[in-house]
Amino acid sequence: METTVGIEGKDEAKFEESVVKTSSAPSSSPKHIADPVVYKLVRVQGNGRLVPATDDEVMEVADLLEDDKGDTGQTVGCTSLDGLPSSKTQLNHIEGLLLSENLEVDAEKSNALLDTTVDLRKSDAQLEEIVPSSVLGSEDSYITQSGSVGQCSEPPIGSVESGTSTSAVSNTLKPDFSKLKGEICLDKMSVKELHETFKATFGRETSVKDKQWLKRRIAMGLSNSCDVSTTTFVIEDNGVVKKGKQESLKNVDSTLADYDVVGAVSEYCRGSPSGQNDQIENPLPLPAKRLRNPSLEHNCTNEDVPMEHRAEKRVRKPTRRYIEELSEVESREYGGKLIYPFKTTECDQSSPRTRARPLLNVQSDGRSLVTRQDSLGGSGVQVPFVCRVRRSRPRENFMALMFQKVQPSGMGMTAKLVKRAIGVCGPQLDNERGNKVGNARLPPGWTQQPHIAEIEKEKQNLKREAIELDKDLELKHVDSSGDNSDDNIVTVPTANGGMRRKHHRPWTLGEVVKLVEGVARYGAGRWSEIKRVAFASYSYRTSVDLKDKWRNLLKASFVHLPAEKGMQNSRKHASMPIPAAILLRVKELAEMQAQVPPILSSSKFAGHGGERIQETRAGYL
C-alpha cells in the first residue's frame, strides 16, 4: 500500500487540523471554501480502495504548502535536494554563461530541456513498471480526483486553473466538488459502460470487472499520469524530508518510496512547475498528451506495451544516473564525502517483498537495473546496484588483477595496477565486479561490448544536452552519463612489451562546465582542490585529468577557427563539440589568469572580442 497525499486547498495554518479531519472522512472537506488547504492522506489498498490514513500516516506538509505559495516550486524541490549552498549562484552563472551570446547554444539548450524532460518521463515510466500497485495506488487515487474531473467537468477546473495560477498543486486538487463530480461521473457508469469508455480510451478491451479499477484506469488514461505522479511525489518528497522515512519503512517497501522520491525530485527539479500545470491546464485530457512532443512519443512508445500498461510504468528504479546524481548532492552536502544514502536504506530493509519486486523491471531498457541481485554466486545476497560506489578505474585495476590470473602476459605493469586496485577498491568489490569474477574467463577484449553500445547510444542522446536552467541536476545527468558504467578501455602496446590500458571517457558538457567553474573559482593549477569540490563524486577524473582537460580546453578556446575545415568530414560525432560559450569563458579565464598559451597567444585576438563577458566572473566571487 501506499500513502497518498491529496491537496484540497491551501492554508498551512489550518493544515494540521484539517489533515486529521479529512483523513477520517476523505470525501468531504467542506469547510474550507477558498483559502483553506487540506492535505488529505489516503492509503491505497491493494488495487484500489482508498482508506483513510491512520494518524501516524499523516504527514506534515505545511512547509511545502508554504513554499508552493510563493515559489515556483522548482526552487522548493531543488533546495531540498541539493544542499549545495552555492548552487543557486552557480546556476545563475551557468545560465548566463550559456545564454551569454550564442544563439546556437541557446537552441541547443532548449533541445536539451526537452530531452531531459523526455528522459525523466521515460525513466519515470519505467519506474512505474516495476511497482505493481503500491505507488500506482497513490497515483490512481490522485487521478480519481483530478483526472476524472477532466472527463466530466473539465471546464470549471480548467478555468479555475488558469485563473488562479498561484499554486499548481493546490489548484490541482483544490475543490472537492470537482472530485465528487468526477467520482460521480464514473460512478454512474455501469461496468459495461466503463468497459466501453475504457476501450475508447485505450483502444482495446479489458476483462477486468472491477469498477474501481476501471475508473481509475480510465481516469489515468484521460489525464496524464506522469504529472500526477510528480505531484504526489513532490509532496511525498517533502514528507520524507520531514518524517516520511520512517513512514516509508513502515508502510511501504521503502525501496520504492525512495525511488519515488528520487523520481520526484528529478522531475521536479527539472523545472516542472509548468509540467504540473500542463496536465491540468490542458483542457482536453486526451491520451494524445503523450504525443505532444515527438521525441517524447518516441520514448514512450518504443515498446509494444499496451497503453494501459504503459500508464502504469511510471515508477521505476531510478537510473544509475539519478542515484549518482543524488549521491553527488548528498556527498556535497556532507562535505565531499561519498555517502550513498540509498545504500543503507536498501540494505536495511530486505523484506521478502523487496526481493520479489526486481523481477518486474527486467528488461525495460536493455540495461537491467536489478540483475545484480543474485549475481553473487546466486547466493541471493542482495547488493543493490546503488551500492556501487564507483567503477572504471578501480574496476579496470581489478580487471587487471583478473587478467593477470588468467593471462600472465601483461604482468609487468599489472603488478602496480593490482596493488592499486586492491588498495583502492578492494573492500568495495561490489557485485558487478563479483559478476566479472565469475565471468573472468573473458579475454582482454572483455568489456561488455553490448554495454558499450548502450552507453554510446545514451551518450549520443546526451550529447545534445546543454546546460539548462536547472544546471545542477542537468549537469549531473550529463556527467553521470559519462560515468555511466563501462569505460572504453583500449589496450595499447607499450615499448617494453607490456600492454597498458587506456580508457577513454569523453568529457561531458557538465564536467567541462564544472571544470571551468572550478578553475574560475580556485584558479587553474589547483587541480586537487577543484577535484575535491567539483568532482567529488566522480571517482575517475583525477586532478591530472582535470589539468589535462583544461589544457585542452585552453587550446580549443584559442583556436576554434581552423578546426572547422578538417573536422567536417572526418568525424562529426567524434567528440562533443564544446559550446562556444564555454570556450569563450575558458579563454576569458585564461586571459584573466594570465594563462594564455604562449604560442597561441598571438592569434588570440584575431577576430574575436571575448573581453566583455565580465558578469560571468562576478558570479563566482
Partner DNA sequence: ATTAGGG
Partner DNA sequence: CCCTAAT
| Chain residues in the site for DNA (CB under 7 A) | 413, 500-507, 524-529, 540, 543-545, 547-549, 551
> Rounded to whole angstroms, how far apart are CA atoms 620 and 600?
27
Residue 69 · residue 37 · CB < 8 Å: no
3-state secondary structure string across 263-320 = HHHHHHHCCCHHHHHHHHHCCCCCHHHHHHCHHHHHHHHCCCCCHHHHHHCCCCCCCH
- Least Å distance, CB 419 to DNA, is 12
For residues 43 and 541, which CB has a smaller minimum distance to DNA in the complex? 541
Distances (CA, A) of 388 to 98, 292, 469: 33, 37, 29
For residues 495 and 621, which CB has a smaller minimum distance to DNA in the complex? 495
User: Per the structure block, which three cell numbers stand in for 120?
Assistant: 525523466
For residues 290 and 541, which CB has a smaller minimum distance to DNA in the complex? 541
For residues 10 and 531, which CB has a smaller minimum distance to DNA in the complex? 531
Which residues are CB-neighbours of 243 under 8 A, at least 6 positions away?
59, 60
- Least Å distance, CB 403 to DNA, is 14
> Rounded to whole angstroms, how far apart are CA atoms 7 and 15?
10
- Least Å distance, CB 494 to DNA, is 7
- Least Å distance, CB 551 to DNA, is 7
For residues 255 and 539, which CB has a smaller minimum distance to DNA in the complex? 539
User: Per the structure block, which three cell numbers stand in for 461?
Assistant: 542522446
For residues 202 and 540, which CB has a smaller minimum distance to DNA in the complex? 540
For residues 127 and 418, which CB has a smaller minimum distance to DNA in the complex? 418
Residue 467's identity, in one-letter code, is I
User: Per the structure block, which three cell numbers stand in for 100?
Assistant: 551569454
Q: In what order do the strands lie in the sheet with 2-7?
A: 2-7, 39-45, 49-52
- Least Å distance, CB 24 to DNA, is 58
What own/partner pairs with CB < 8 Å and gap ≥ 24 does 362-366 have?
A: 364/126, 364/129, 364/130, 364/313, 364/316, 365/126, 366/450, 366/454
- Least Å distance, CB 487 to DNA, is 7
- Least Å distance, CB 493 to DNA, is 12
Residue 267 · residue 233 · CB < 8 Å: yes
Residue owning grid cell 500508464: 311
> Rounded to whole angstroms, how far apart are CA atoms 578 and 584?
10
For residues 108 and 545, which CB has a smaller minimum distance to DNA in the complex? 545
- Least Å distance, CB 604 to DNA, is 17
User: Per the structure block, which three cell numbers stand in for 399?
Assistant: 580487471
- Least Å distance, CB 505 to DNA, is 3
> Rounded to whole angstroms, how far apart are CA atoms 224 and 219?
9
For residues 505 and 587, which CB has a smaller minimum distance to DNA in the complex? 505
For residues 15 and 535, which CB has a smaller minimum distance to DNA in the complex? 535
Nearest CA among 483, 463, 423 for reference residue 571: 463
For residues 295 and 528, which CB has a smaller minimum distance to DNA in the complex? 528
- Least Å distance, CB 100 to DNA, is 26
User: Per the structure block, which three cell numbers stand in for 376?
Assistant: 553473487
Count CB atoms within 10 A of the CB of residue 112: 24
For residues 120 and 489, which CB has a smaller minimum distance to DNA in the complex? 489
Kind plus residue range of the DSSP H or E element containing 338? none
> Rounded to whole angstroms, how far apart are CA atoms 398 and 412?
15
- Least Å distance, CB 424 to DNA, is 12
- 432-448 burial, b at 16+ Cβ within 10 Å, e below that, comes to bbbbbbeeeeeeeeebb
Count CB atoms within 10 A of the CB of residue 535: 23
> Rounded to whole angstroms, how far apart are CA atoms 241 and 15?
18
- Least Å distance, CB 213 to DNA, is 51
Residue 323 · residue 386 · CB < 8 Å: yes
